[in-house]
Structure 1
Amino acid sequence: MSKAGSLFVEGDSFFHRMDGAVKLIMLLTWTVVTFLFLDLRIFVVMLAGGVTMLLLSRIPVKRMALLFWVLAIFTIINSVFILLITPRFGSTLTGSNTPLIPIGYDTINTETLFYILTLSLKYLTLLPITLLFIFTTHPSRFAASLNKLGAPYKLAYSVSIAFRYIPDLTQEFKNILNAMQMRGLGISRSDGSLLRRMRNLSLVVVPLLQSSLQHIESVSDAMDLRGFGARPKRTWYMGTPMSRSDKTAALLCGLLLILAITVKVSFIKGFWYPF
């Protein structure tokens, strides 16, 4: 395991102290509520709330930058494909057609652009709460919380190892890439065409898989030597009881889910288009 051990960032905010299982419930509730709707108004409110919680957690921006750019690139690519493949898709949701941008074989309409805006905001709504969960949840505490909720401790420990292994995998990828660049396999613009650079980058996959399998075998042997799985139950060094604030947060998540379902069934049933 790496020195960092995980993506967890040390801190003393309310979300750092929150029980890991409660944070998982909050993440799942937030995700369900987000996918229930296709309404820009709701996403604006949820995004504002998520950003506020993320700021209160005081996580360094540098630690979150990579995940933010990955989501931003995915959102842009997804939007471009929708516009090029189904430029009038918004009309199927609204029943109206307002031509806006001709693209030769078809015309992108206003309804589709508004749909793209709504969909992009939907993805962004999930980002703050996901970052909050990833960077404020200690793997061992999270595993203990899952086991406390009734999940088998083998499954809980597997989740903990997965969280811990992400930084190791990232560092191993960087090490292999640096070693291959020193041997003349470059991936920068000056190292040839895009196809050649992609081919060079693909050569990292095989040694990365071999290294990963070696790590898995080492961890597996170490766990077997320590008798992991020999008993039906186990204790947790970092396990903590749920506080009153944790129970309150879990209750609020339940109320939010009930409210969202009520609003979905009674008021907002489809795609919101104001024009």
Structure 2
Amino acid sequence: MAKGGTLYIERDSRIHSMDGSVKLLLLIVWTVAVFSFMDLRIFTLFFLGGMTLLRAARIPFKSVKPLFFFVVMFTIFNSLFLIAVTPQFGSELSGSYTTVFTLMGRELTAETLWFALSLSMKYMAISPITMLFIFTTHPSRFASSLNKLGISYRVAYAINIALRYIPDVSEEFKNIMHAQEARGVAFRKGEAPLMERLVNYNTILIPLVLSSLNRVEVVTNAMNLRGFGREKKRSWYSGSRYNSLDFIVMGSMTLLLVLVFYLKNNLITGFWYPFQ
């Protein structure tokens, strides 16, 4: 179950036992590898690999469902915006033009549809590994890992607080939305047109920002009263050492980076469109 104030879900898995800094390295290398290409084949492999790791961590789908749904909706809106604004962008990248239909004098090409699909899959390829990092990394242990790498404990502790704050923001968002619904503001399907519902979400933004600023002030005052930051060093209750799996993952990520740079410079150099 998720611990209070965090999205961390405790499970007895090898991924949970990995050091937080190693999981951060995994996330960074994974992201760099994905964003180095514009190839649907590679994105599909990374997505399947990420889902396999997420399953190995034994994270229940109901826990990642809200984030997964958000990523899916983001990719859909992003792709629709791309198609509407630059309906021939994919053709400019691939050098071929296959018109699907013409609307108001503007041609939408099959190459652009393929590019939009590839771009959506790029974001989907990163989402499982991001969820893996969020749900399997305890904020306190992650902060101690960063401090172990030489990062100031003040910065590490700030990241710790930020990770713990994510569930609070989500809960505050729900509370504000329910309060607005009680005032007659429509957010749900069937209550109002789509565009009106999207505009109504602006009524949540300002109260959420004000609430966040107030919470920041409370946390800052509490930390000042406890004398946080006066000493140059601090000890960590949740500190740990690297294990054999950590070294294996670090080695694998190094090899992955080398492979990515080789493929990018020699074999997969641009936008992949299979129907040329």
Determine the structure 2 residue equivalent to 1:242: 242
CA displacement, residues 107-152 of structure 1 (integer Å, 9 cap, x when unaligned):
2222112212211111111111111011111100111111111111
State the SS of the aligned residue for 2:101. Answer: strand
Determine the structure 2 residue equivalent to 1:98: 98
Determine the structure 2 residue equivalent to 1:80: 80
Task: Give, in whole Å, the separation in 2 of the partners of 1:121 and 1:5.
Answer: 31
Q: How big is the shift at 1:194? A: 6.3
State the SS of the aligned residue for 1:204. Answer: helix
Call closer, same or farther: CA 1:80–1:200 in 2, change over 3 Å: closer
Residue 144, structure 1, aligned to residue 144, structure 2:
yes
Q: How big is the shift at 1:63? A: 1.2
* Amino acid corresponding to residue 147 of structure 2 in structure 1: N
State the SS of the aligned residue for 2:108. Answer: strand
Task: Give, in whole Å, the separation in 2 of the partners of 1:93 and 1:253.
Answer: 30
Give the aligned CA root-mean-square deviation in angstroms.
2.1
- What does residue range 100-115 of structure 1 map to in structure 2 within 5 Å? 100-115=100-115
Q: TM-score, normalised by structure 2?
A: 0.91
State the SS of the aligned residue for 2:240. Answer: coil
Call closer, same or farther: CA 1:99–1:142 in 2, change over 3 Å: same
Call closer, same or farther: CA 1:10–1:81 in 2, change over 3 Å: same
Higher mean displacement: 5-14 or 110-119: 110-119
* Amino acid corresponding to residue 95 of structure 1 in structure 2: G
Higher mean displacement: 188-197 or 111-120: 188-197
Residue 159, structure 1, aligned to residue 156, structure 2:
no
CA displacement, residues 62-118 of structure 1 (integer Å, 9 cap, x when unaligned):
111111111111111111122222222122111111222333422222211221221
Determine the structure 2 residue equivalent to 1:168: 168
Task: Give, in whole Å, the separation in 1 of the partners of 2:100 and 2:205.
Answer: 44
Task: Give, in whole Å, the separation in 1 of the partners of 2:132 and 2:57.
Answer: 7
Determine the structure 2 residue equivalent to 1:16: 16
Call closer, same or farther: CA 1:53–1:189 in 2, change over 3 Å: closer
Q: How big is the shift at 1:198? A: 5.8
Determine the structure 1 residue equivalent to 2:217: 217
Q: Is this contact kept in 1: 2:3–2:9, CA < 8 A?
A: no
Call closer, same or farther: CA 1:191–1:145 in 2, change over 3 Å: same
Task: Give, in whole Å, the separation in 2 of the partners of 1:31 and 1:229.
Answer: 33
Task: Give, in whole Å, the separation in 1 of the partners of 2:190 and 2:120.
Answer: 34
Q: TM-score, normalised by structure 1?
A: 0.91
* Amino acid corresponding to residue 245 of structure 2 in structure 1: S
* Amino acid corresponding to residue 274 of structure 2 in structure 1: P
Q: Identical aligned pairs, as a percentage?
A: 48
* Amino acid corresponding to residue 118 of structure 1 in structure 2: S
Task: Give, in whole Å, the separation in 2 of the partners of 1:118 and 1:219.
Answer: 42
Call closer, same or farther: CA 1:198–1:115 in 2, change over 3 Å: closer
Task: Give, in whole Å, the separation in 2 of the partners of 1:198 and 1:51.
Answer: 30
Higher mean displacement: 157-166 or 68-77: 68-77
Higher mean displacement: 239-248 or 96-105: 96-105
Q: How big is the shift at 1:265? A: 0.9
* Amino acid corresponding to residue 222 of structure 1 in structure 2: A
Call closer, same or farther: CA 1:208–1:94 in 2, change over 3 Å: closer
Higher mean displacement: 204-213 or 6-15: 204-213
For structure 2, list consecutive stretches of 5 or more residues without a partner in the other structure.
none
Q: How big is the shift at 1:162? A: 0.4
- What does residue range 159-198 of structure 1 map to in structure 2 within 5 Å? 159-188=159-188
Higher mean displacement: 227-236 or 173-182: 173-182
Residue 49, structure 1, aligned to residue 37, structure 2:
no
